[in-house]
Amino acid sequence: MANQEDMIVYSLGPGCGLEEVEEGKVYAGIVQGFANFGTFVQLNARLKGLVHKSNIIGTHEEKEQIFVQVINIRNNGNIDLAEVAPTVFRLETVTRRAKVTGLGELASRVGRDVTLEATVAQIKQTSGPTIFTLVDATGSGNAAAFVEAGVRAYPEVELGDSVFVVGEVMRRQNQLQIEVSAMEALTGEDAQRVHDRIEAALDARAEPEEIPLLIESEAMEQLRPEMRKVAKRIRRAVFEAQPIILRHHADADGISAAVAVEQAVVSLIKEEGNDLDTAYYLFKRSPSKAPFYEIEDITRDLDFALKDNVRFGQKMPLIVLMDNGSTEEDIPAMKVARVYDIPMIVVDHHHPDAIVDDYLVAHVNPYHVGADFGITAGMLGTEVARLIFPGVSDRIKHFPAVAAVGDRSEAPERQRYLDLIAEEYSEDVCKDIALALDYEQFWLRFNDGREIVKDILNVDGERDLQDKFVNLLVDEANAAIEGQMEASMPHVTEEILPNGAHLFRIDVEIFAHRFTFPPPGKTSGEIHDRLCKQHPGEPVVTLGFGPDFAVLRSRGVMMNIPQMVRELHEEIRGGGISGGGHLVVGSIKFVEGMREAALAGLVEKIGRVPVESSLPAQSED
Amino acid sequence: MANQEDMIVYSLGPGCGLEEVEEGKVYAGIVQGFANFGTFVQLNARLKGLVHKSNIIGTHEEKEQIFVQVINIRNNGNIDLAEVAPTVFRLETVTRRAKVTGLGELASRVGRDVTLEATVAQIKQTSGPTIFTLVDATGSGNAAAFVEAGVRAYPEVELGDSVFVVGEVMRRQNQLQIEVSAMEALTGEDAQRVHDRIEAALDARAEPEEIPLLIESEAMEQLRPEMRKVAKRIRRAVFEAQPIILRHHADADGISAAVAVEQAVVSLIKEEGNDLDTAYYLFKRSPSKAPFYEIEDITRDLDFALKDNVRFGQKMPLIVLMDNGSTEEDIPAMKVARVYDIPMIVVDHHHPDAIVDDYLVAHVNPYHVGADFGITAGMLGTEVARLIFPGVSDRIKHFPAVAAVGDRSEAPERQRYLDLIAEEYSEDVCKDIALALDYEQFWLRFNDGREIVKDILNVDGERDLQDKFVNLLVDEANAAIEGQMEASMPHVTEEILPNGAHLFRIDVEIFAHRFTFPPPGKTSGEIHDRLCKQHPGEPVVTLGFGPDFAVLRSRGVMMNIPQMVRELHEEIRGGGISGGGHLVVGSIKFVEGMREAALAGLVEKIGRVPVESSLPAQSED
Amino acid sequence: MANQEDMIVYSLGPGCGLEEVEEGKVYAGIVQGFANFGTFVQLNARLKGLVHKSNIIGTHEEKEQIFVQVINIRNNGNIDLAEVAPTVFRLETVTRRAKVTGLGELASRVGRDVTLEATVAQIKQTSGPTIFTLVDATGSGNAAAFVEAGVRAYPEVELGDSVFVVGEVMRRQNQLQIEVSAMEALTGEDAQRVHDRIEAALDARAEPEEIPLLIESEAMEQLRPEMRKVAKRIRRAVFEAQPIILRHHADADGISAAVAVEQAVVSLIKEEGNDLDTAYYLFKRSPSKAPFYEIEDITRDLDFALKDNVRFGQKMPLIVLMDNGSTEEDIPAMKVARVYDIPMIVVDHHHPDAIVDDYLVAHVNPYHVGADFGITAGMLGTEVARLIFPGVSDRIKHFPAVAAVGDRSEAPERQRYLDLIAEEYSEDVCKDIALALDYEQFWLRFNDGREIVKDILNVDGERDLQDKFVNLLVDEANAAIEGQMEASMPHVTEEILPNGAHLFRIDVEIFAHRFTFPPPGKTSGEIHDRLCKQHPGEPVVTLGFGPDFAVLRSRGVMMNIPQMVRELHEEIRGGGISGGGHLVVGSIKFVEGMREAALAGLVEKIGRVPVESSLPAQSED
């Protein structure tokens, strides 16, 4: 027996195997059970030995800690122990010498035992084993642990834990999988160490490459740090198997932005070794009905996310809003997300309300750097997508131009993005593509139309198909617009306001076809464009109204719609007035029974607004 | 050769094996086929023997019954037979001596052959084997039988049959499964015996435990037998793998009732050894649009049920209606259910029409025992849930209080349920939870929002999350209500009726925001509450109307709305008038073009109704 | 060494094995790689040999073609080669002698290597192997090829290619599957030969049997060639695993037509050895909202088809339109289909616009042979279904009678189809079934209700269930119609037009219950029928209108609705007038604000139309 004066008692760390146990050394163990010939003692989760009854010192209970010396390790792996009771000793932890394998290296380890340190990204209880999706610095993978059919293995291991795993790499239906022989949720320093190491590695992996923008743009260079932040957060989500929900404005600009990011994320998911099904459940894109993220939207997203969390053990998602999300109308939904610790990102070019930033992990917005909506969401989304997955550039580099003409950007970046692709797409073709997107999205309602939209945008290099399809959609869209104008234009009424502006009014519900393309807002816009052309150089306001709403378009009239709405809300009691938008383009809502009062009040205000003294004689298209 | 005078001819019962065959004995067999050296005779589905041509007495045809004596059983299991032709004999059936294994014991029989007697609960034809879901007295399990890929095995076995099964217990992708080597649909006495035994055992297992109610309540004690009947029927459905469809009123009371039962059923399904996916397809909860089970609802439910029946061999479902289902508006749907033998259960607290009971297997309703709607569906549902699965009590015991304040119960049970949970939830918190449920369900539309609703009700003991979420939802709900009142209240008109009551009218479609929370009915109620507070001690009627409907709320006016509706239907020709509700709270529908006549007629009637002489000076909240 | 003067150099065709290689012969090979002892040369995708360094003539690069003589074939299959450099030679291709197995014969080849020639009908990348669905002259089957988990095997093989496959027939989860050891996309003549052979065989297999019509009908005999063409195209789709989308009018006639074809197609899919799940994803039936195939419908169908194509490698579908599809309103959708090369078929009995035939691969329409809408879609669909799968006849032979009475056919075929089933179904029962279908479809909205509809039509021979269900639905439908008439009839206004016709007007939106059965069109029709009965022998026009539409029914007034609509469109500026239909039954749409002008113009035109001089005194039911 060793000299107890300076005895070292070893504690076998998680995953230590027989190769870490040495004869003669003393270990801390836990009494596991009793037989008539002795006492079984557990040295760690994987190893146990026997103390023959002749070698027991005192009487013990199950789960009691005792110290034991290793007398003999037999050829069959059985360990003979003797109890010792040192009075003075030092405790020392034995860490496993076995090399920790990275999840990215599993393919070369099929049929072999591996040791892993990872964090748990998903826990799915199947009717058979429990499947843990693991993430480490090098990649991700699935580990199957079985106790009993349908029973949760290692119930103490929870989503997000750092774990130590020993198992064999198997190919199951040709997918790599670790068949777990031991798993342990790390605690204290071990957990911290593994967590920190993976965290640091993921953080490093998530860092986007340094690549130049597609064009020169001072404003966008200033936005670069925030765009990198967005790209990095999205890359991390992919590396950690966190689902991504992308919600976007259902117009050509919003679609361009969102599809760019979709292409990048799906490419990255595939590069991580996942199949298409995984890409489908880890990434969902949905056009939004309203120009903001409504309480109804988050309710639906939360409903599905929680069900997936419970049923499939998925992580709660990352929510990305594009071409919307930057105004206070989004706050209620953001509050809900915060209750559930759901991170949110916004990439938008609408005038932001500062308060939204309290709820966001990142927010790219040209107004933050003194630019305006002329830097469209499609431009921003395309550059963010390139930071997420640079290889996507060639497939999406024409999106900003489509977005720019679709959203009538007047920023200098518009022309630069058009120049970038001038050999392939003329400005007119870009306009056609934008109109085709608007028209097709109208019929898609709020489905993503993933493949259709890719064909319209020509992601896959099938220009012939794109040409045929876009031309067809543009023809249909224009015919529909002509039909609508034929019905509406004769009913437009005109008056000259005190400030000299032309005011045109049209009831777009009773003098237009309903539930078809173009919808009321676009109908009003089209009417306005035509009237502007008929009155070159003159100030024009067009008011398209329905029972409980009005849409305002204007040229050369220096309105401040949000302020007018605030005033009308105060002045018209029981009008239920709300609304807003940009300064000179916007909409207003009221209760149906107060329409006359609301419109009268609005027109009265418009008539008092100053008009621009010098307008270009020819209105732009 | 045995003496034929009192010869016994044995008939081998289904599943008998070689161990039941004795040399020397005579058995009834069926000629199976011919070879040049003899005739093959089938003793039962599993055993056949050979009669050498020298031992054949007459000439036979296939499928003919003959009697054979066992001459020799060889080591390899071959049976040598000789034909006998007794003139006098007794027929005796040999039953298998092998122990019948219960489906609940399969886990301990992996790798071994078992004999089962069970009934067939589901038959699913896969592209490989046919999967039979079996149920017996001890549990349920799956048996796979294979003839040819995609071909139905044992086509003579039908859903609901009693069967005798021999097979090996296997673990397939870690699920237990019986690989069938023989299956036989029992007939006659055998079928009856197995059926009766399983029936009796299921009946006994389904019997709920005797547990006390959460509170003292004379009325609810009287309802106990019917509640037990409901609980028992639901437990049986779980034990028999019969899908359950739970439809409920989409308000706080209905949600509380339904979620209580949902928790109990899902717990029971899991306790039966099923995984979460099974729980999802065996139990579906849906809030209803209307306050009754509409023809559109049953059409949808039937469509899915029949498809699941054909495609996945599922049983037709049990339909449970909660917080609706007790009035004659439900009869058309119930008639459809009856055509398809779909059993229906109602747990409701609306005034029942007796006729519904012709269509129900059970119906819990406080009016049946002289109580009224003050015993809410949430109270009843919670107690039924506890009978289904007592272990659920702690997680749901606060539901009745939430339901009570949500439905403004004035029954004494309200306070008792509040007292029960007073340490955890104050009355105000219960009101908040009820409002949060109403608000969130509005945005969930008619999705169940399973996990969201669980969080609002705090099923999983996460009080912090509940507090944060409920507070957020209540803030949003109240802000929305304030916005609606701001728009509506200025448009309320008042008149004093001949009977002295205040009549307030408001057009809730043109003087309120549409398609948002609060909807027209709740808007009317909120207006009524505010007007009652402004006119303490006075009789008040509030009439919120739209183009083709009106919602009536009243205090202190002794109306009988159903009767008024009947009279108006008679009096106003072409008015298309229908409706109803409680005596003093209800709604009325008419065709839009007859609104003025319908409202005038209604107001005229209200003006003639007596008012209560003494009202409490202060209206309740 | 052989005499080079007339040397033959052999080129080993795809799939040739060792048995096709002969010692002494010279083969063309491709340099595959180098070792220090020699050069490896590939003789075809499966065979390679070694040229020892002593037998190499020049220096070569990888992928270079060289000629080699076979010196020795060792017992282990290794091939020793020597390079030769003939100056004069003939090239000759060696084709594999191995018997090509048909996909229909796989069941008898389990565990054996087979050689196949087939075309690729689907390519699905799983997370494990790539699954190719193959089709040949004898049937179809799946082939699994594995390179690396989730990586596309044989990426050069594309959908539609002709391929040569060598592999082992396995049973995987009891489904037959070929484990591919070699696959080669054939090119040039080989591809053409295989393609042509399969094409010819499929064409022959797809040819419908020669069976007589259920009844005698000159018109339908004339339509027989086109019906055969439709049936053949649909049969080919099944044989080639091409998905079928069947869209149809949502009334009794359209349902009958579509369900007949559904039964035939599903039977054929099953006969091909597929399971029910395959039948569900290969065949989808959807009732259409509008009486034509709208741009919204094709958008939705295209969205799903493209996603299935990308995600599951499915072929683009065949679209079949029944009881609609023959008018110019369908053209926009057809143009979209054409952009994607989606073939379309129409079986309709509406008056066709000739232009649709530019977009169709087949079009059955009674107007093409001088008959009219009295030959209903249900009659045509039933006969087409029988050509697709004759065994379906007995289950659907009563469909034409139901369709005939449902669509009020007055063609002589009506009575013949009624006579055909007179012993089982009386005319009244057929009417009941038609009404039950209309009523139930109303509540099914635009779901197919597959099993419900089968029960109403009694496809499975459960007459009792049918009787009970139909009677219930008819009772409910009639009660609903009565309720609607009670509300509407008192509001009908009458005027006598200049031409002597009675004009009845009814606002079916404000004087009828909305969003319930019967909907506005059917309500108008019911009113018209009652008014006709009240005015026997007199000309009657009924105009049921809403805010932006009017439905026209007439008797004895020789209107030409399409022409009136065209005139009104010209005459009423800003009316947005469109519409059409048959000559004397149709509908018209306008913008809500121009309703008075539109109706006035319409009535004025009706008043100038000649009326029929002699009407039967008794109107038909």
Q: Which element (helix H / strand E) includes A261? A: helix A252-271
pLDDT at B616 over 60: no
3-state SS, residue B139 = strand
Which residue did the predictor score with more confidence, B58 or C322? Answer: C322
CA-CA distance, C608 to C347, in Å (whole number)?
36
Question: With the C-alpha atoms ordered A75, A78, A84, A90, is the resulting torsion angle positive or negative?
Answer: positive
Assign B250 a pLDDT band (cuts: 50, 70, 90). Answer: very high
Q: Three-state SS string across C193-248, please?
A: HHHHHHHHHHHHHHCCCCCCCCCCCHHHHHHHHHHHHHHHHHHHHHHCCCCEEEEE
Cβ <8 Å between C487 and B296:
no
Closest CB from C129, C149, C303 relative to A444: C303
**C15 contacts C56 by C-beta, under 8 angstroms:** no
CB contact under 8 A, C128 and A449: no
Query: Would you call C596 helix, strand, or coil by DSSP?
Result: helix
Among A288, C356, A85, C174, CA closest to B131? C174
Whether B303 and C487 lie within 8 Å, measured CB to CB: no
Residues 6+ apart with CB under 8 A from A304: none
Give CA–CA dist C275/A111, Å, rounded: 36
User: What CATH number does domain C208-425 carry, 3.30.565.10, 3.40.50.300, 3.90.1640.30, 3.30.70.20?
Assistant: 3.90.1640.30
Segment C353-359 shows an average pLDDT of 95
Contact A257, A382 (CB under 8 A): yes
- Judge contact between C90 and C8, C-beta under 8 A: yes
Q: In the predicted model, is pLDDT for residue C369 greater than 70?
A: yes
The identity of residue B201, as a single letter, is: A
pLDDT band, residue C289 (cuts 50/70/90): confident
Q: How many residues does chain B have?
A: 621
Handedness of CA B27, B32, B34, B37 (dihedral sign): negative
Segment C286-306 shows an average pLDDT of 92
Tell me whether the omega of the peptide bond preceding residue B518 falls within 30 degrees of 0, making it cis.
Answer: yes
Task: Verify whether the Cβ–Cβ distance B513 to A594 is below 8 Å.
Answer: no
Question: Where in the sequence of chain A do the CATH 2.40.50.140 domains occur?
Answer: 4-94, 103-205
Name which of C126, C149, C593 is nearest A176 (Cβ-Cβ).
C149
Q: Find residue A168's DSSP bridge partners.
A: A113, A179
pLDDT, tens only, A551-561: 999 999 998 99
Looking at residue B448, what is its pLDDT?
95
What confidence category does residue C172 fall into, taking pLDDT thresholds of 50, 70 and 90? low
Asked if residues A383 and A214 have their Cβ atoms less than 8 Å apart, the reply is yes
Crossing angle for the helix pair C252-271 and C399-406, to the nearest 10 degrees: 160
Instruction: Report the pLDDT value the prediction gives residue C360, as an integer from 0 to 100.
Output: 98
Check if A443 contacts C (Cβ < 8 Å). yes
pLDDT bin (cut points 50, 70, 90) of residue B368 is very high
Return residues 330-369 of A near B (CB < 8 Å): 332, 335-336, 339-340
**A613 pLDDT higher than 80:** no
Count of CB contacts below 8 A, A vs B?
Answer: 102
pLDDT tops 50 at residue B4: no
- Coil, helix or strand for C472? helix
What chains are in contact with A, requiring at least 3 Cβ pairs below 8 Å? B, C
The residues near A255 (Cβ < 8 Å, ≥ 6 apart) are A248, A287, A437, A441, A453, A457
pLDDT number for residue C614: 65
Distance, CA of A79 to chain centre: 52
CA pseudo-torsion sign C137, C140, C144, C150: positive
Provide long-range contacts, Cβ within 8 A and 24+ apart, for A464-467: A465/C339, A465/C340, A466/A433
Domain with CATH 3.90.1640.30 in chain A: 208-425
| Banded pLDDT at C85 (limits 50, 70, 90) | confident
A174 φ/ψ sector (left φ>0, alpha ψ -120 to 50, else beta): left
- The residues in B 566-605 lying below 8 A from C, measured between CB atoms, are 573-576, 589, 591-594
Q: What is B4-94's CATH topology?
A: OB fold (Dihydrolipoamide Acetyltransferase, E2P) (2.40.50)
Q: Please report residues of C whose CB lies closer than 8 A to that of A490.
A: 573-574
For the stretch A426-485, pLDDT in tens is 999 999 999 999 999 999 998 999 999 999 999 999 999 999 999 999 999 999 999 999
Per DSSP, B236 falls in state H
**B274 lies within 8 A of chain A by CB:** yes
Higher pLDDT, A560 or B290: A560
The yes-or-no verdict on residue C175 having pLDDT over 70 is no
CB-CB under 8 Å, B514 with A149: no
CA-based nearest residue to A445, from A519, A511, A523: A519
- Angle separating helix axes A450-457 and A427-444, nearest 10 degrees: 170
Q: What angle do CA A96, A100, A102 make, to 5 degrees?
A: 165
Q: What is the pLDDT of residue C354?
A: 93
Q: C36: which 2 tokens?
A: 């220090």
Specify the pTM. Answer: 0.84
- Round to whole Å and give the CA distance between B151 and B128: 8
Of the candidates A551, A488, A491, A553, the residue with the CA atom closest to the CA atom of residue A514: A488
| Amino acid at residue number A464 | D
Would you call A475 helix, strand, or coil by DSSP? helix
Q: CB under 8 Å, gap of 24 or more: what pairs does B476-479 form? A: B476/A295, B476/A332, B476/A335, B476/B439, B477/B435, B477/B436, B477/B438, B477/B439, B477/B517, B477/B518, B478/B435
Instruction: Please check whether residue C476 touches B, CB under 8 A.
Output: yes
Distance from CA of B551 to the nearest CA of A (A): 19
Q: Which CATH superfamily is domain C103-205 in?
A: Nucleic acid-binding proteins (2.40.50.140)
Average the pLDDT over each of A188-192, B453-457, C281-285 and give the range with the smallest value. A188-192
Q: For the residues B88-92, what does the mean pLDDT come to?
A: 81
Q: In this predicted structure, which of A152-156, A273-277, C165-169 has the lowest mean pLDDT?
A: A273-277
Question: Is 90 exceeded by the pLDDT of residue A135?
Answer: no
Spell out which residues of chain C touch residue A276, defining contact as CB-CB under 8 Å: 125, 310-311
Contact flag C576-A486 (C-beta cutoff 8 Å): yes
Closest partner CB to A126 (pick from B274, B275, B514): B275
The CA distance from C322 to C345, in Å, is 8
pLDDT for the residue numbered A599: 97
Q: Nearest-CA neighbor of C421 among C458, C449, C473?
A: C458
Instruction: Give the length of chain A.
Output: 621
Res C97: pLDDT: 61
Task: To the nearest 10°, report the CA torsion of B99, B105, B109, B110.
Answer: 140
**Concatenated DSSP letters of B478-545:** HHHHHHHHHHHGGG-EEEE-TTS-EEEEEETTTSS-SSSSSPHHHHHHHHHHHHHHHSTTS-EEEEEE
Give A492→chain B minimum CA distance, Å: 25
CATH for B492-606 (3.40.1180.10, 3.30.450.40, 3.40.50.620, 3.10.310.40): 3.10.310.40
Q: What share of chain C is helix, strand, coil (3-state, %, to 5)?
A: 40, 25, 35
The CB density around residue A443, as the number of other CB atoms within 10 Å, is 23
Confidence band for B255, pLDDT divided at 50, 70 and 90: very high
Asked if this assembly's ipTM is beyond 0.85, the reply is no
Report the candidate in B339, B360, B340, B337 with the shortest Cα–Cα distance to residue B348.
B360
Contact B449 A336 (CB under 8 A): no
- Residue C226 reports pLDDT greater than 80: yes
For helices C399-406 and C427-444, give the axis angle rounded to 10 degrees: 80
* Of the listed ranges A14-23, B336-345, C78-87, C260-269, the one predicted with least confidence: A14-23
Q: How many helices (H) and strands (E) does chain B have?
A: 16, 23
Beta bridge partners of C133: C122, C142
Tokens matching residue B517: 């929370």
Say which amino acid occupies B427: E
For the cut 60, the answer to whether the pLDDT of residue B620 exceeds it is: no
User: Residues C299-310: pLDDT tens digits?
Assistant: 999 999 999 998
- Residue B14, preceding bond cis, omega within 30 degrees? no
Distance (Å) of CA C241 to CA C105, C122, C196, C236, C276: 18, 8, 18, 8, 14
List of E strands, B53-112: 65-73, 79-84, 89-94
Strands B65-73 and B79-84: antiparallel
CB-based contact B103:B136 (threshold 8 Å): yes
Tokens of B480: 């929305």
pLDDT band at C1 (very low <50, low <70, confident <90, very high): very low
Closest CB to C507 among B128, B148, B593 = B593
Residue B348 pLDDT > 90: yes
| Nearest C-alpha neighbor of B599 from the set B573, B577, B570 | B577
If pLDDT is split at 50, 70 and 90, which confidence band does A97 have?
Answer: low
Q: Coil, strand or helix: which one is B183? A: strand
In total, chain C counts a number of residues equal to 621
In angstroms, the CA C544 to CA A138 distance is 70
Q: CB–CB of C569/A535 below 8 Å? A: no
User: Residue B195: enclosing H or E segment and its boundaries?
Assistant: helix B188-206
Q: Tell me what the mean pLDDT of segment A190-195 comes to.
A: 84
CB C27 within 8 A of CB C73: no
pLDDT in tens, B142-183: 888 887 666 788 888 988 888 989 888 887 655 678 888 888
Please report residues of B whose CB lies closer than 8 A to that of A147: none
Mean pLDDT of B480-504: 96
Tens of pLDDT, residue by residue over C434-481, are 999 999 999 999 899 999 999 999 999 999 999 999 999 999 999 999
Question: What pLDDT, in 10s, does the model give residues C133-169?
Answer: 888 888 888 888 887 666 788 888 988 888 989 888 8
In this prediction, residue A620 has a pLDDT band, given cuts at 50, 70 and 90, of: very low
C408 at B interface, C-beta within 8 A: no
pLDDT exceeds cutoff 60 at C131:
yes
Q: What is the mean pLDDT of residues A69-97?
A: 83
3-state secondary structure of C582: coil
Q: What percent of chain A has pLDDT over 70?
A: 95
Predicted confidence at residue C619, as pLDDT, reads 40
Is 80 exceeded by the pLDDT of residue B536? Answer: yes
Outline which parts of chain A fall under CATH 3.10.310.40.
492-606
